[in-house]
Structure 1
Amino acid sequence: MTDPAALPDLPLPEQRQIAIGHDAARTTVLTQLAEHRLPGAIMLQGPQGIGKATLAFELASAILTATGDEDPKRVREQVAAVSHPNLALLRRRSKDAKGYYSVIRVEDIRELRETLQHTRGRAGHRIAILDSIDECNPSAANALLKTLEEPPTDTTFLLISHRPGQLLPTIRSRCQNLAMRGLSDDLVRAVVSSSQPDLDAETLDRAVQLAGGRPRRAFETLALGENSPVGALLAWLQGPERMPVAAQIQLADALGADAQGPDMSFAREILNDWLAQEMREAAMQPAGRSRLASATELWEKAGALLGEADSVNLDMKQTLAVIFDAIRKHCALFANPAEPA
């Protein structure tokens, strides 16, 4: 199944199956596997792009091998092709030749549930991977909850979440939650070098610096052109209130020119990180209630606007212009805004 978030010329998580780092989460699951006490649902949670999906497929291969009767190499090959009969994978489905649905729908969850109710194709445990659960719409989330409340026997759900705080508390309570953190710069460098060993040192160092512990972000940096507006966005976020309005309009036009392109994808992550950091800093200030309320409102507004732009194909340039204007006004009201991550 194609990953709607896949980056060009990079292997998919199911093709990698070897996650660098994340030893604590890996050890926890492998210990449970060895002791025959795998839980019905495991949530791998943490920032997007740190290797959660890759670890999920690594664990899937280990579980299918340990509980089945096939050669490990054969299992890895089937997992890489998502063809193992005891493996189910759910991502956002393709809508047409031009793109994907913006959410995982209730019918997708129902189809997954029906698949898991069938007689298993091979001996051993079954694995269902949701990449990611954050993309379930409310109806899909409720349908998933019913499945987690009455899970099929000998089945483990591996749920990937970038924003666990926004999920239904009842879903989180049904899972073993494994928190995963960003990688060290050395580990990010190892991930990038393993896929692109011919990178020059300067380019690699810049990618690692901008990655912020997320290998995916490093790869996105490498995919950007020399004149990418992402650099201008990072500069603008250093002090939006000090920049002329014309600068943010030009920035919105440049980033929004290709709503599905790598520049826009990277920009959205940077904006999310900046907004999250601004809320954290406001929450830590003794007298930061007003700033926190403003930052929270800004987070919700940006998320709603971008979500609406995705779902009904609104003009991304105009959407960004509105978000940038709201950020500038927020920064003009409060001192010490967050630095871009």
Structure 2
Amino acid sequence: MSDPSALDGLPLPEQRQSAIGHDLARGAVLAQLAEGRLPGAIMLHGPQGIGKATLAFELAAAILVATGDEPPHRVHEQIAALSHPNLSLLRRRPKDSKSFYSVIRVEDVRELRDALHHTRGRAGHRIAILDSIDDCNPSAANALLKTLEEPPAETTFFLISHRPGQLLPTIKSRCHNLALRPLRDDMLRSVVTASLAGLDGETLSRAVSLAGGRPRRAFETLALGDASPVASLLLWLQRPDSMPISAQLQLADALGSDAQGPTMSFAREILADWMASETREAATSGADRRRLASATELWDKANALLTEADSVNLDMKQTLVVIFDSIRKHCALSTPAEPA
């Protein structure tokens, strides 16, 4: 096991090494490389599953080829095998043969720091990729900050972040920050069909429509299938206040049965997107202040509940019941009353 977020049957970012889209971010780094002024740290941030890690490995390959003394095909082969001596990768480490640690630990960051201060194994620049920095616990984040404050010579860190707003401001200030956006539908189709040939048009269109510009979500949609409780969640979120209570109880039971599984992971992304959309709409549509206050409270409450469930291993089914009930109450508040 090398990647805790890997999807079965799909190449890892280090194997892909070619991201579709993100031309502005790619161009910015390649221009810095051509001018010989690569920064010590580059943060690629944006929604999860849009190709940030793939782009990081693509840019790492370009840097290692440009500054090293090996042919491109050899560099790409070594990156794919994670065997290039000038490339370091930090992800959540395996805990045992079946699971990973829930965070990147301080000892993991210190091990990376020590490796980068050793004599380099080959001519050229060195690259360290953190996928993702969001996984660092507070001690690991502080240890990383010290490394970024005094980086090794001719070394560039690529920090992948899905939630940059939650990072230490001092870490972000040490980085050249590049925001990546979800892909257009035509780009997303290209990503999916490059890995999964032979999809019928209806299936592909459904995956693209649910993905919101995120290739990972499209692949998850295809893996879960039509009978997944995720489809029921999407239907329920269209009108939560009009659905019977029994429906949300059944939904919580189906989703929460495997708190760490891909279905629940996908469901959490959908819930986060829905709540974020509610908050944005309430803030920009001129709705009454109660709706904005309710949406903000719902966002804070749901995230706190999910974080608590993760940290102390609470029953995910019961956590979802509480969140769904809060969503129902918010929607009832937001729905205009029928005229008498």
Alignment TM class, shorter chain as reference: over 0.9
The secondary structure found in structure 1 opposite 2:95 is strand
Corresponding residue number in structure 2 for 1:51: 51
The secondary structure found in structure 2 opposite 1:309 is helix
Instruction: Report 1:60-79 matches (<5 A).
Output: 60-79=60-79
Distance 1:230 1:71, change over 3 A: same
Residues 42, 156 of structure 1: 8 Å contact kept: yes
Distance 1:84 1:305, change over 3 A: same
- Deviation string 1:76-125 (CA, Å, 9 cap, x unpaired) is 11111111111111111122233222221222211111111111111111
Corresponding residue number in structure 1 for 2:282: 282
Residues 102, 310 of structure 1: 8 Å contact kept: no
The secondary structure found in structure 1 opposite 2:128 is strand
Aligned equivalents of 1:185 and 1:251: distance in 2? Answer: 29
Aligned equivalents of 2:101 and 2:116: distance in 1? Answer: 23
Following superposition, the deviation at residue 52 of structure 1 comes to 0.5
Aligned equivalents of 1:143 and 1:302: distance in 2? Answer: 30
Corresponding residue number in structure 1 for 2:137: 137
Aligned equivalents of 2:203 and 2:320: distance in 1? Answer: 29
The secondary structure found in structure 1 opposite 2:263 is helix
Aligned equivalents of 2:177 and 2:325: distance in 1? Answer: 37
Residues 102, 311 of structure 1: 8 Å contact kept: no
The secondary structure found in structure 2 opposite 1:237 is helix
The secondary structure found in structure 2 opposite 1:182 is coil
Corresponding residue number in structure 1 for 2:106: 106
- Deviation string 1:169-194 (CA, Å, 9 cap, x unpaired) is 11111111111111110000000000
Instruction: Report 1:256-275 matches (<5 A).
Output: 256-275=256-275
Following superposition, the deviation at residue 286 of structure 1 comes to 4.2
Aligned equivalents of 2:253 and 2:188: distance in 1? Answer: 32
The secondary structure found in structure 2 opposite 1:7 is coil
Corresponding residue number in structure 2 for 1:247: 247
Corresponding residue number in structure 2 for 1:115: 115
The secondary structure found in structure 2 opposite 1:42 is strand
Following superposition, the deviation at residue 270 of structure 1 comes to 0.3
Instruction: Report 1:222-233 matches (<5 A).
Output: 222-233=222-233
Corresponding residue number in structure 2 for 1:309: 309
Aligned equivalents of 1:16 and 1:146: distance in 2? Answer: 31
The secondary structure found in structure 2 opposite 1:251 is helix
Following superposition, the deviation at residue 32 of structure 1 comes to 0.5
- Deviation string 1:194-242 (CA, Å, 9 cap, x unpaired) is 0011111111111111111111111001001331111110111112122
Distance 1:144 1:292, change over 3 A: farther
Distance 1:153 1:293, change over 3 A: farther
- Deviation string 1:26-63 (CA, Å, 9 cap, x unpaired) is 11101100110000110111111110100000000110
- Matched AA of 1:97: S
Aligned equivalents of 1:297 and 1:157: distance in 2? Answer: 36
Aligned equivalents of 2:90 and 2:296: distance in 1? Answer: 31
Aligned equivalents of 2:26 and 2:79: distance in 1? Answer: 18
Aligned equivalents of 1:322 and 1:3: distance in 2? Answer: 32
Corresponding residue number in structure 2 for 1:199: 199
Aligned length: 336
- Deviation string 1:135-177 (CA, Å, 9 cap, x unpaired) is 1122221221111111111110101111111111111111111
Following superposition, the deviation at residue 289 of structure 1 comes to 4.2
Instruction: Report 1:89-238 matches (<5 A).
Output: 89-238=89-238
* 8-17 vs 198-207, which moves further: 198-207
Aligned equivalents of 2:277 and 2:187: distance in 1? Answer: 23
The runs of 5 or more residues in structure 1 that have no matched partner are 337-341
The runs of 5 or more residues in structure 2 that have no matched partner are none
Corresponding residue number in structure 2 for 1:339: none
Q: Identity of aligned pairs, percent?
A: 77
Corresponding residue number in structure 1 for 2:295: 295
* 308-317 vs 116-125, which moves further: 308-317
- Deviation string 1:261-311 (CA, Å, 9 cap, x unpaired) is 222121111011111112212222446544333323322322232233233
Aligned equivalents of 2:58 and 2:49: distance in 1? Answer: 16
Aligned equivalents of 1:159 and 1:288: distance in 2? Answer: 40
Residues 65, 75 of structure 1: 8 Å contact kept: yes
- Matched AA of 2:267: A
Distance 1:201 1:88, change over 3 A: same
Residues 220, 266 of structure 1: 8 Å contact kept: yes
The secondary structure found in structure 1 opposite 2:83 is coil
- Matched AA of 1:242: S
Residues 240, 331 of structure 1: 8 Å contact kept: yes
* 184-193 vs 273-282, which moves further: 273-282
